[in-house]
Amino acid sequence: MEQSGMITNNKVLPIAGIGTENLSIELTTRCTNECSHCFARAGRIDSPELSFDTAQGIIAEGFRIGYRHLHLTGGEPLLWPHLFGLLDGAASLGYEMLFINTNGTLLTPDTARRLAGFGERLHLSISLQGPEQIHDRFRGPGSFQKATQGARNSLDAALSVFIFATVGKSLVAVLPRFAEYVFTELPGVKGLTLIQLIRVAGRSVSEGFKPLANGTDDAHGLDRELLAPEDFVGMVRSAALLNLYGYPVTVLENPLATVAADLMEMPWLPPEPMLYRNGKIVVMADRSITLAHSSRETYGAYAPGALSAVLMSEDYARAVSPDTVTCPYCRFRSACAEKGMVRPSEWFRDRDGSAPYCKRVLRLIA
């Protein structure tokens, strides 16, 4: 039976839609790619990873709270030695959806067949950073060939595969061509999911992190690739048109894209929820609890009971509730509210602090 609330301290706190919300776990930060943009490994010297018992405890607690969708990420989840044990555990608990983010490099025919054993509830995202030249520039030489082979092995095993593409300036320029490649060369792919490239805050050397990108407080120097408002509009235009011509393309957890598409009278982009939203929670490999995989703002460390405690906390409620400072006075507020965008874009979209990113994008269109 679908649960829509959680029971803690004998109180039932309704969280609308928790049964279709993701409980996300970053299993490990170890990886087979060396991505120059990665928010998970940004600047890290150490490589934390969860123990099997901790991960099993998290999924059991999540299930009691009402989660039915489990999202596993990394690092590279296929490098985590307990992955299949955890999937078995999740399936026997009754999770209805198992979603794994992978870079595809370890998806041998055998591994793909084993994953297919979990049936229709299991879905994979395989990351392609764009065409080979762009992909290998971000992820390391030879990685495109390995990722696309992994995707072919998965499709041959009849797995449900989405392609995740992180979009920087270089990809915007060739997006239609790349989409055509994905849907014709990897037939059977369920969808192309675009992720806007974002900045990653640095951490200090004294906390055990690498030095910051030159002249910034960021972990990676991504300035040349971050999307300026005109690039964002270009991405949205291509994504909307691709949908019009039958290619299922979405812009992940970024309702600004749908608002922008509608303002351009290109209403073909599917709706997406906000990045930070009530019920969403991520447990990272170092056990810190965050609102998004890309975020380093933490709501404490995981220990039994912590998921409920965070979901009920005032800090969490504040982070997911509608903005009361900027949005109420913005001329685009009703267009945004209609698409579920109830807060301005986050600070990490670009480096121009003159006005919120969303406002600069929408002004450009208006």
Q: Which is nearer to ligand SAM, 126 or 306 (CB)?
A: 126
Residue 128 interacting with ligand SAM (CB under 6 A): no
Residue 251 interacting with ligand SAM (CB under 6 A): no
Q: Which is nearer to ligand SAM, 58 or 285 (CB)?
A: 285
Window 68-107: contact mask with ligand SAM (x via CB under 6 A): -----xxxx------------------------xxx----
Contact present, 68 and 94 (Cβ < 8 Å): yes
- For 11, residues 6+ apart whose C-beta sits below 8 A from its C-beta are none
Partners of residue 160 on adjacent β-strands:
123
The string of DSSP letters for 9-53 reads: TTEEEE-TTGGGSEEEEE-BS--SS--TT-TTTTTBSS--B--HH
Q: Which is nearer to ligand SAM, 76 or 262 (CB)?
A: 76
Cα–Cα distance measured from residue 30 to residue 36, given in angstroms and rounded to the nearest whole number: 14
- Residue appearing with tokens 């060939």: 145
Q: Which is nearer to ligand SAM, 195 or 264 (CB)?
A: 195
Closest approach, Cβ 73 to ligand SAM, in A, equals 5
Q: Which is nearer to ligand SAM, 252 or 311 (CB)?
A: 252
Residue 111 interacting with ligand SAM (CB under 6 A): no
Q: Applying CB under 6 A, which of residues 63, 95, 118, 164 lies at the interface with ligand SAM? A: 164
How many residues in total does the chain contain?
366
Burial (CB < 10 A; 0-12, 13-18, 19+), residue 217, is: exposed
Q: Which is nearer to ligand SAM, 282 or 306 (CB)?
A: 282
Closest approach, Cβ 188 to ligand SAM, in A, equals 19
Size, binding site for ligand SAM by CB under 6 A: 19
**Angle at CA 88, nearest 5°, toward 82 and 91?**
140
Closest approach, Cβ 140 to ligand SAM, in A, equals 11
Closest approach, Cβ 311 to ligand SAM, in A, equals 23
Contact present, 27 and 72 (Cβ < 8 Å): yes
Residue 166 interacting with ligand SAM (CB under 6 A): yes
Q: Which is nearer to ligand SAM, 282 or 310 (CB)?
A: 282
- Residue appearing with tokens 């991505």: 35
Q: Which is nearer to ligand SAM, 262 or 350 (CB)?
A: 350
Residue 345 interacting with ligand SAM (CB under 6 A): no
Closest approach, Cβ 35 to ligand SAM, in A, equals 6
Contact present, 27 and 74 (Cβ < 8 Å): yes
Closest CA to 105 of 159, 168, 153: 153
Report the site for ligand SAM in 6-65 (rule: CB under 6 A). 31, 37-40
Residue 195 interacting with ligand SAM (CB under 6 A): yes
Q: Are strands 281-283 and 191-196 parallel, antiparallel or unpaired?
A: unpaired
Cα–Cα distance measured from residue 278 to residue 295, given in angstroms and rounded to the nearest whole number: 15
Which stretches of the chain bind ligand SAM, using CB under 6 A?
Answer: 31, 37-40, 73-76, 101-103, 127, 164, 166, 195, 197-198, 200
